[in-house]
Amino acid sequence: MKKLPKEVSREIGLEISVICSKHFLKSRYLHYGYWPSGLEVDIANLRIAQENYADFLISHIPDGVKTILDVGCGTGETAKKLVDMGYQVDCVSPSPFLSKQARERLGSASHIFECFYEELQTENRYDLILFSESFQYINPEGAVEKTFGLLNKDGYILICDVFKKDTLGKSPLRGGHSLRRFYDIVSEYPLQVVEDLDITDQTAPTLDVMNNMVKEVVEPTINLVQQLLDDRHPFVSRFLKWMYRDKIKKVNKKYFSGEKTGENFKKFKSYQLLLYRKIDLQETWQLSSGDAYPESVQPRFEEKIRGRTIFDVEEDSPVLLAVQKILKQKLPLIL
């Protein structure tokens, strides 16, 4: 099947990112950095910040977890760290290039499903499913539904990713699902929030590092190349500028506007670590709504099902499946 131009561009972009990260930063990570107070915001410290992020993420894996599915595993660096700690880890990666990198990193320690998460087919069930900056690329309704079905009893969903805030104005930064929409989606499932942490302040400096690199390295280099082309081949230079004027304008706006800063990131985005535990319906009824969801958003799972009968629930709803399971277990005893 022939790849679409956008897929080819994304694959090339990923390859360039990996090459630059590995050779200039001595890092295989592709995610944001975690910048605690005291760590100077400088590109020389980006690798340290990325390692901080991985350590921070792993520190929130609950006790008792043994099997993990890493969705969007990148180069496999986090998965390798988890494997070295004794976890059994499988990975999902839709990118042939990144899948190859991950296989070289992990060897036979992990099975890598080279597909989109929505297309994943496996009989395996996991104690925890991890989304480290991959949730934003997946349809949120489909992701939560599929994840719920792939979890063991009392399994966990761990998401660490960018979300959109309800802020007026147009964001210069792309990416992320609406945080409020996400809360609405998970409120439809028997999921108990274990942790809901806003780490926007600790991740936003990554944007300042990248913005400074663009202004101080990338943009001056491009300008020098352009000057050389203007001097040596003026006709060709003018023709190319005219021929690709729209694309050049788009690239300048996207990459060289100077608006992709930590300040704008904090204004329009929220970087969240979210940990949910899968619970059965009996336990859901015993929970107070304050235990199930963050107060700031106040979705109420109990309110959503209160006053409804089993016949009001959609056929494929996890609520209905849980009720059916309980009835199968309890009805013979009642009769």
Contact present, 166 and 180 (Cβ < 8 Å): yes
Dihedral, CA atoms, 189, 190, 195, 198, nearest 10 degrees? 10
Per the prediction, the chain carries an average pLDDT of: 81
Residues in Cβ contact with 83 at an 8 Å cutoff, skipping those fewer than 6 apart = 89, 106, 109, 110
Give the predicted TM-score (pTM) of the model: 0.77
88 vs 306, more confident? 88
Q: Is the confidence at residue 307, as pLDDT, over 60?
A: no
In the chain, domain spans: 5-203+269-302, 209-263
Give the highest mean pLDDT range of 9-13, 60-64, 232-236, 327-331: 60-64
| 16-52 tens-digit pLDDT | 665 666 555 566 677 899 999 889 999 889 999 999 9
How much is the average pLDDT of 258-272? 91
How much is the average pLDDT of 5-25? 57
Q: Per the CATH hierarchy, to which homologous superfamily does domain 5-203+269-302 belong?
A: Vaccinia Virus protein VP39 (3.40.50.150)
